[in-house]
Chains A and B, each alone.
Chain A
Amino acid sequence: MKIEIATNLAIAFQALKVNKLRSSLTMLGIIIGVAAVITMIAVGGGAQARVKAQISSLGSNLMIIIPGSLLQSGVRLGTGNAQTLTEDDANAILREIPEVAYAAPISRGGGQIISSSNNWGTTIYGVNPDFFEAREWPLASGRMFEYAEIAGAGKVVILGQTVANQLFGSEDPIDQQVRIKGVPFTVIGITEKKGQSMQGQDQDDGVFVPLSTGRRRIFGEAMGRIARVGSVAVKVQDGNDMKITEQKIAELLRQRHRTQIGAEDDFTIRNLTEILEAQEAASKVMSALLAAVASVSLLVGGIGIMNIMLVSVTERTREIGLRMAIGAKGRDILEQFLVEAMTLATLGGLIGILLGFLASELIAILAGWAIQLSLVSIILAVGFSAAIGIFFGFYPAKKAAMMQPIQALRYE
């Protein structure tokens, strides 16, 4: 018949109570280790979650093409200064590269928007409905531009959430009139909330008008036959290699722009999804690293337990001898010390979880970092600390169990 676990636990608690200071110092190693693991995983998870949210807010498989640096008598002006990208380029990309799902030309400018009671300075985008598809950015209410409005520079506008709030507050902006650069527009829709961009910009602080409207009525530029645009958002169909598609687009644009072989591109393709995915990978590595470093402290805590258990076994050699003399088997002694080590580790683990929670919340509040407490990390930490108890407790316990009763009793 075996001694029941409750009895073994009682013996273990008794032994740990006898050496309060030593027990708590030993536990401290595990407490710090577990708390560190939980906190680091929470911080790492938070960073990953933030990047993931950015990816989903951007829309997947997205590239942005912007006009490249313009060479003016050897002086390179920054990107975006050139006026080389046209609406036709966008159409050609969509037409000739089958992997491309959408190629949405975008023109952009700043301006003041005035409602009957308020005004607000924001960014004005000239876009076609494809833009909203490419950015996976549906309307929260209202309707999309109609064909006649796109073709005929209709005076309609879709507001971003921030702009809608600034101009109309709690009122419903749909069908209201606003003025942009003195031109009256009718609000036909409001986009869904998108949040911050990678650069921390409020993406909802903007309004959208048809591309043609922007060109003819707001930006007032390039009325000629070539319809220049500020950028083109390209969405690649799922399952296609972004890199290869990017090369195809580059080739096409070089042909269209008649770029000489060996000359620099007059455009830049930014693979935004890829950039974010790289960031995500980096944050993954980072959190794995953090967890690894924290695990080292957990390991050190485990070695601390082993150390103390070895001391304890040596110190209590006579007790072990006595227990054996009055009928304890090797297995009983093994269990007694194993339970003791596991009690240390598990108790330390539980306190560590609590501390880890507090530390994570504190970091979230003080540093303003995103944290994400995960059940997995808690289960991991508890399991790990119990495993440490068994692993590092086993050797000392085995050592105790292997003692010969006569020698143990004679131990001075």
Chain B
Amino acid sequence: MLIHTENLSKIYGVGDQVVHALDSVSIDIDSGDFVAIVGASGSGKSTFMNMIGCLDQPSSGRYFLAGEDVASLDPDSLADIRNRRIGFVFQQFNLLNRTSAIENTALPLLYARSGPLAGLSKEERLEHAKKRLEQVGLGDRLDNMPNQLSGGQQQRVAIARALVNDPDLILADEPTGALDSKTTAEVMDLFTELNNQGMTVIVVTHEPDVAAYAKRTVTFKDGKVISIKINHA
């Protein structure tokens, strides 16, 4: 079991009003799964993704990532977990400006402090980054700056960056939100391919077309999971 949550809750207090952004979510995701998380805005899917991604801590409940109880870790330990286990892909790509594709891709290796990828030399880091860029089909764009790449290419650089630390799972938050339908298909095909190679992929989206690429669709509403559906390819 890669992800296991028990009654995971997140409560925001706004004055007297208390908002249950996440309400007792218990879910299991196996290694090698491809899960789409859907729901209207405010349904709790983004909060859930922040929890899963160790970017935020729950108000109550437990969360095991690869068997490790991470719900109660301090911020520094969470940073290490994020670096080692999770590859993030964002809607806005979040590439560093005026920084080449290969250097953007190598960035997470800079913060690797444990595991086999810790303490690499700059050459070794760039070598790893190059491999990942080749894996996403950008082997000929290593030295391009983000503004010299199309949106689809930029998102593929971001995916290469997510892969560079050999994570346990890829967490993509609306990865196609800024892309047209053609590049959306390209990016989702890439995720499918990665999943076929054994990578666990979790995609948060509000587009049914995108969710259809996944093996399972988890639907959120009012902070709760209301359905888990197995997609038939």
Contact = CB atoms under 8 A, between A and B. Distances in A.
B88 interface: yes
Contact of B50 (A3, A319, A322, A406): A406
Contacts of B108: 326-327
B88 A325 contact: yes
Contacts of B48: none
A324 interface: yes
B139 interface: no
A329 B161 contact: no
Given A14-B99, A18-B97, A323-B111, A328 B79 contact: yes
A349 interface: no
A380 to B, nearest CB: 36
A330 interface: yes
Contacts of A14: 99
A326 B119 contact: no
B94 A327 contact: no
Interface string B11-26: 0000000000000000
Contacts of A7: 110, 122
A404 B79 CA distance: 12
Nearest to A331: B76
B56 A406 contact: yes
A7 B98 CA distance: 17
A1 B119 contact: yes
Nearest to B50: A406
Nearest to A11: B110
Contacts of A18: 97-98
Interface in A360-412: 404-406, 409
A406 B111 contact: no
A332 B55 contact: no
Contacts of B111: 3, 323, 326-329, 332
Interface residues of B, number: 31
A330 B75 contact: yes
A318 to B, nearest CB: 6
A239 B187 CA distance: 91
B94 A409 contact: yes
Nearest to B119: A1
Contacts of A330: 75-76
Nearest to B97: A18
A325 B119 contact: no
B83 A326 contact: yes
B85 to A, nearest CB: 10
B118 A1 contact: yes
Contacts of A329: 75-76, 79-80, 111
Interface of A: 1, 3, 7, 14, 18, 318-319, 321-332, 404-406, 409
10 shortest interchain CB distances as A-B pairs: A327-B83, A327-B111, A326-B108, A322-B94, A1-B113, A329-B79, A18-B98, A329-B76, A405-B55, A328-B111
